[in-house]
Structure 1
């Protein structure tokens, strides 16, 4: 994937959203500066496994993104190592019902958070590389909302969700 192109596309969509968001519904941030090889290695060391190559590829271009989708922050290496965002995400993961996980045919220990909302129940989890469904990304918000075959598909879906948010705000503003 051409991460530079996709990141610029989302930044453009986020800017258009910010222009229409007169009520400041969501944060509209730019992505963080690219992670260094050392930062990625440190995160992998702390996690105890190598990051999925697609996710690591993103991190090499943007080391996380606050307000990635609505109030959801996409985690960078500092978040993966463990901070308040990760602590909250881990609590959210612990609250996901076993029946929900069993319906997804996945074990809690096979998942790690890659994004979470600071104010809602949205939690995005990736399957660890040691598990049978490695690289799969799940979206939970009380129950399973969706899943994506890999990080790239997850990212592209979130770009589309941001576009939909833009269209909704545009309609509300009577700009159609």
Structure 2
């Protein structure tokens, strides 16, 4: 159970870092955005039912605080109900997952496409964030970050992934 993640604090901290980037980045290379409003448990259960998945607890808890985030990481969106209904960057994720499966990227990572659900992608981005939702019980809840067909990193859970994205933003801020 996800008892330790303080999602309001984590989301708030990322907003502070993104705001500071927005103030310092005169070229506006990274769009400053906020997450969408949270979803209700009822809406979340409906999405899980229509997708025929059960989201791991960390990701579920995040969605109960923020329903996805446009330009979460550069031009890569973090998915919520909009994308799970087929809108936004959902088509980019579906195409990317298909390409990576056909090219053997998933096989190299010892993953099956049917065990994954994309939780992040963006138009003009090669980033794909994948969440393991079924299959090997030890892998369920794992988040895999793939960019251009290469595994960037695999995270034990969504909260670890989110924390790593915060660190990525902080590193960029230090470069400004």
- In the TM superposition, what is the alpha-carbon distance from 1:27 to its structure 2 partner? 1.3
**Under a length normalisation based on structure 1, what TM-score does the superposition of the two structures give?**
0.91
**SS of residue in 2 equivalent to 1:63:** coil
- In the TM superposition, what is the alpha-carbon distance from 1:99 to its structure 2 partner? 2.7
**2:97 match:** 93
Contact 1:43 1:78 in 2 (8 A): no
- In the TM superposition, what is the alpha-carbon distance from 1:44 to its structure 2 partner? 0.5
**2:167 match:** 160
User: Does residue 1:107 correspond to 2:107, yes or no?
Assistant: no
Q: How do 1:1-176 and structure 2 match up within 5 A? A: 1-96=5-100, 97-128=102-133, 130-132=134-136, 133-142=139-148, 143-169=150-176
- In the TM superposition, what is the alpha-carbon distance from 1:100 to its structure 2 partner? 1.9
RMSD between aligned residues: 1.2
State the Cα deviation string for residues 29-76 of structure 1 (Å, max 9, x = none): 011111111221121011101111100100111111111111111111
Contact 1:121 1:141 in 2 (8 A): yes
- In the TM superposition, what is the alpha-carbon distance from 1:118 to its structure 2 partner? 2.1
Contact 1:111 1:126 in 2 (8 A): yes
**SS of residue in 2 equivalent to 1:55:** helix
**Under a length normalisation based on structure 2, what TM-score does the superposition of the two structures give?**
0.91
Contact 2:92 2:122 in 1 (8 A): no
Unaligned stretches of 5+ residues in structure 1: 170-176
How many residue pairs end up in the alignment? 168
- In the TM superposition, what is the alpha-carbon distance from 1:145 to its structure 2 partner? 1.4
Contact 1:139 1:146 in 2 (8 A): yes
| Deviates most, 61-70 or 91-100 | 91-100
- In the TM superposition, what is the alpha-carbon distance from 1:98 to its structure 2 partner? 4.2
**SS of residue in 1 equivalent to 2:77:** strand
Unaligned stretches of 5+ residues in structure 2: none
